[in-house]
Amino acid sequence: AATAGGTTKDAKVPTVILTIGMAGSGKTTFLQRLNSHLRTQKHVPYVLNLDPAVNKLPFGANIDIRDTIDYKQVMKDYTLGPNGAILTSLNLFTTKFDQVLEFVDKRAAELDYVIVDTPGQIEIFTWSASGAIITDSLAATYPTVLAYIIDTPRTAGPATFMSNMLYACSILYKTKLPFILVFNKTDVTPHDFAVEWMSDFEAFQRALMQDTSYMSSLMNSMSLVLDEFYENLNYCGLSAVTGAGFDDFMAQVAKARDEYYAEY
Ligand code: GTP
């Protein structure tokens, strides 16, 4: 079985952490903190940036989609709007993804983690053919876990919470990969309410009753569905700004990976 550092008794196998999150959830800040956290722990990360539209990355990427694909040029060449251009850029990059895997493979023996940034418009990544090809080829090569970054302060109302959880649930079903809910920005709003709602169905029902009107019956049924989703879920709270909670996050990564990839 794999150990927390991603090593087996035979050879080192890096763990891929694929980061997904809505715009503004703090994905970039999270990756910056994760990158430095891993380095201070003497774990070697390899950084892949798959977001063609990011202006400035606050950390160095080993492979950056922007090095080969000029997103603004794609907009001009194909007369596309921003979302169409992100999708087309991803499609163009996916045709070269076998080369990306070769680069990672050359370094794999010395790596502990491969951390991947994805476009802030998550649906472009999760629902496109190229997003699926990239995800599947990574997951077929290395143990891969998905970190779904949540803006905790903005998800503290029961209705918003549930819609965010349904979204997370749909990504889980789509990718079928080990999944970690990452409640970010806990320096602003601690994620205790989320832990309570995920572990105590009745507490969530009570919160819903105070919050909703005509939607309440549908929301009640949906929250029953989600109760099952929570049961097999890994989650943690952290702050990408202060760095609190990253040790727990890494423990969740190891747990999610080891439960899923028992053969590694
Ligand atoms: P896009 O680039 O639009 O996709 O956003 P993103 O998800 O990459 O978020 P980004 O890292 O740019 O963070 C969005 C805002 O949230 C910024 O103002 C960050 O400073 C802030 N932020 C991110 N993480 C935290 C956190 O843990 N605590 C607090 N207080 N603010 C945070």
- CA 264 – ligand 1 centroid, Å: 34
Is the pLDDT confidence value at 3 over 50?
no
Q: What percentage of the chain reaches a pLDDT higher than 70?
A: 94
Alpha-carbon dihedral angle through residues 18, 22, 23, 29, given to the nearest 10 degrees: -50
Residue nearest atom 3 in ligand 1 by C-alpha distance: 23
Return the DSSP state at 155: G
pLDDT band for position 2 (cuts 50, 70, 90): very low
Quickly count: other Cβ atoms within 10 Å of residue 60's Cβ. Answer: 9
Q: What residues are in contact with ligand 1 under a 6 Å CB criterion?
A: 21, 23-29, 120, 184-185, 187-188, 239-241
φ and ψ at 160, to 5 degrees? -65, -40
Kindly state the average pLDDT of the residues 44-48: 95
Beta strands of the chain (E only): which ranges? Answer: 15-21, 45-49, 63-64, 113-117, 144-151, 179-184, 234-237
- State the residue for tokens 């040790």: 247
Residue nearest atom 9 in ligand 1 by C-alpha distance: 26
- CA 120 – ligand 1 centroid, Å: 11
* Range from 39-43, 218-222, 228-232, 258-262 that averages highest in pLDDT: 39-43
Reported pTM: 0.92
Residue nearest atom 13 in ligand 1 by C-alpha distance: 26
Task: Report pLDDT for 202.
Answer: 87
ipTM: 0.96
- CA 27 – ligand 1 centroid, Å: 6
- CA 258 – ligand 1 centroid, Å: 29
Return the DSSP state at 234: E
